[in-house]
Amino acid sequence: MKKEEILVVTPYSDSAMAMFAQHYELHVLSQAADPDALLKSIGPRIRALATNGESGASAELMDSLPKLEIIACNGVGVDAIDLAYAAKRGIRVTNTPGVLTDEVADMGMGLLLATVRQIPQRDAFVRSGQWGHTPLPLTARVFGKRLGILGMGRVGKAFARRAVAFDLTVAYHNRQRIPANEVAYVYYDNAIELARHSDFLVICASANSKNRASIGREVLDALGPTGFLVNIARGSIIDEPVLIEYLQEKRIAGAGLDVFWNEPAIDPRFRQLDNVVLQPHRASATTETRADMAKLALDNLLAFSAGKPLLSEYKV
């Protein structure tokens, strides 16, 4: 029996692609010698599109797939998918929540420790032979400080659990206040007040058009010159040029970043800063978690093909 064809925007890992290929005939758009020719050839037959959080799916791409019924995103973030257009077309969207929650929270805690205690800088100090020859300034303490979490969803809650183990006092801001019997942390009505009462501000919120560049001067001024920022959500949430200015001028103490504007071609000024720790958007990038994500993305496609309920449909 002939396998159903699906279009893959950007290839997943070799093991994930092999798993998908057991069930579907795969066409990889980014690897096509002539992507337009590929879309013209197979577009009229494609009902399912597989993508990830970075590549997403534009309205233009969806337009080239007149029979498209489902977009399976291998990732939690769906901000790179034109959700309004998908809804207009009646195209269903799935993502992979839950399976990467703890992995991302781990990265967030790692970035917090690395940034505040300057672990990468100290590693470079030892490797360069300066130990014993060059004075080394002290760093700030982590335990016992005040932590603000912007976005108390799955990742925010997982990060908060880790923070409590470090004796951090946790507060949060969320689009909606969570009942106290579910989350007992202090709630602030806006990000500015949260930052004002935080030594460390960690961004765990999902990205959307309303919070684009929302972490800017007012929030960073409230965080202040002894405050640290960590972002494990989406780069779009931060006003990046403003953040660079504040890091250059030491108007905040430092930042740990896993996400950026224009990935992977990030602003080169970040590389010149000694008070920022940079990660190449790898919070979920472990063998185990990426395998779990790919399996959930595939299981959603298989459910769709079998006419069964989707496992993790994203509701706008």
Q: What is the pLDDT of residue 208?
A: 81
d(CA 50, CA 139): 45
Q: How is residue 223 written in tokens?
A: 């965080």
Q: What is the pLDDT of residue 210?
A: 82
Domains identified in the chain and CATH numbers: 4-99+287-305 (3.40.50.720), 101-278 (3.40.50.720)
Q: Find tokens 């939690």 and name the residue.
A: 76
d(CA 170, CA 187): 9
Concatenate the DSSP letters of all residues of 209-272 into one string.
GGGTT-BSHHHHHHH-TT-EEEE-S-GGGB-HHHHHHHHHTTSSSEEEES--TTTTS--GGGGG
Local confidence pLDDT in tens for the 316 residues of the chain:
789 999 999 999 999 999 999 999 999 999 999 999 999 999 999 999 999 988 999 999 999 999 999 999 999 889 899 999 999 999 999 999 999 999 999 999 999 999 999 999 999 999 999 999 999 999 999 999 999 999 999 999 999 999 999 999 999 999 999 999 999 999 999 999 999 999 999 999 988 878 888 999 999 999 999 999 999 999 999 999 999 999 999 999 999 999 999 999 999 999 999 999 999 999 999 999 999 999 999 999 999 999 999 999 998 6
Rounded alpha-carbon distances, angstroms, from residue 55 to 128, 219, 264: 38, 29, 12
d(CA 24, CA 128): 51
b (16+ CB within 10 A) / e for 159-196: bbebbeeeebbbbbbbeeebeeeebebebbeebbbbbb
Q: Do residues 230 and 200 make contact, with C-beta atoms less than 8 angstroms apart?
A: yes
Q: What is the pLDDT of residue 1?
A: 74
Q: What is the pLDDT of residue 207?
A: 84
CA angle (239, 160, 288) in 5-degree steps: 90
User: What's the burial of 305, exposed, middle or buried (CB within 10 Å: 0-12/13-18/19+)?
Assistant: middle
**pTM of the model as a whole:** 0.90
Q: Which residues are catalytic?
A: 234, 263, 281
